[in-house]
Amino acid sequence: MPGHLTHDKSYFDIYERLPVPMKERYADAWPRYRIFAQGHDLLLFYMFLHLTRYPELQSKGEQIEDHIQALAVNYIALLQQTEKTEEARLFLYGYLIHHFIDAKLHPLIVYETGDLRSDKGAQTLHLLVENMMDAYVLKKDGVDPGGFVMQSIVPSKSALTPHTRELIRVSFQETYGLENFDAIFADYNNMSRTFFKTLRYDPHGIKKTLFRPLDVLLFGLFKPSILPFRFNGTECLEYLNLEKRPWTHPTDKSIISTKSFDELFEEGVEETAKMIGRLDEAIEDRAPKAQLRAIIPDISSIHGRESGLEFTFGFTKGRNVSQVK
């Protein structure tokens, strides 16, 4: 899951490439619902914070990375039976945008850091690299990562309507067997501004100094990327493959690429914008399920290949987190 800012940037970059009539229709609503671009990362966030409140998340978390096509078709079927509001549509589009940007970027991240499912060190390094991506995105836009007001990307008091909550609740239950998933999104908006302000806003580098000795402990215990943004030019050259070294796809050693973070991000934005534009038109036309499936690729957000495909790591990649300065 590339960081919050990487997803936020992809959400607005994709908007700029949508068909003009669609851009005009959603001009006001698109920024208002930007939190939807955080997609299933909100689920992982709640796996950390609310295991006692939502115990089913622990066993269902990994499934959420797959079967995006089935989820979207189930959601649209419900949407077609009700009022197609801006919020209800933009939840779907934001969620899809997140999934497909993950699918494009994750193979490089997983290659560089290792199998995060079985290696605790790889989990930690994975989170650090995603944190680094956010810092890199800010630096490219001329923004100081430490001084960025992270909570500014989270709309305040943006409660979901009962209509959207019902679509989320039913479609996620039908697809993944997750009950009350809508409560996660409703609760997340209420607390995320305080969370980011407390832990991610660090204009003077004080939190970075205090937290750095505890990096391994904090990430090992808490999972989400809670530390202030870190940026190191040498690290970024390597982990974001800015020098375009050959790298091997983590599920298939025959797939070799030299693409950098920048190239993969650009590809993800371009391809996803085309998909969202086609999907919006199909929803307007009440397209049958077969047409919807033809528009939405059924790929995992972890490795960008077919849903349900097993990892077949044939190599050891990534360094111990203690080596990342």
Give the 3-state secondary structure of 121-185: HHHHHHHHHHHHHHHHHHHHCCCCHHHCCHHHHCCCCCCCCHHHHHHHHHHHHHHHCCCCCHHHH
Using alpha carbons, select from 257, 254, 205, 228 the residue that is nearest to residue 134.
228
- Which of 24-33, 204-213, 243-252 is the most confident on average? 24-33
Confidence tier at 221 by pLDDT (50, 70, 90): very low
pLDDT of residue 16: 98
Mean pLDDT for the stretch of residues 23-38? 92
pLDDT of residue 11: 96
Examine the pLDDT at 309 and tell me if it is beyond 90: no
Burial classification of residue 46, based on how many CB atoms lie within 10 Å of its CB (0-12 exposed, 13-18 middle, 19 or more buried) = buried
Mean predicted lDDT score pLDDT of the chain = 79
The yes-or-no verdict on residue 158 having pLDDT over 50 is yes
Question: Rounded to the nearest 10 degrees, what angle do helices 182-199 and 41-49 cross at?
Answer: 80
pLDDT for residue 160 is more than 60: yes
252: phi then psi, degrees, rounded to nearest 5: -155, 110
- Tell whether the model's pLDDT for residue 224 goes beyond 60: no
pLDDT grade for 275, boundaries at 50, 70 and 90: very high
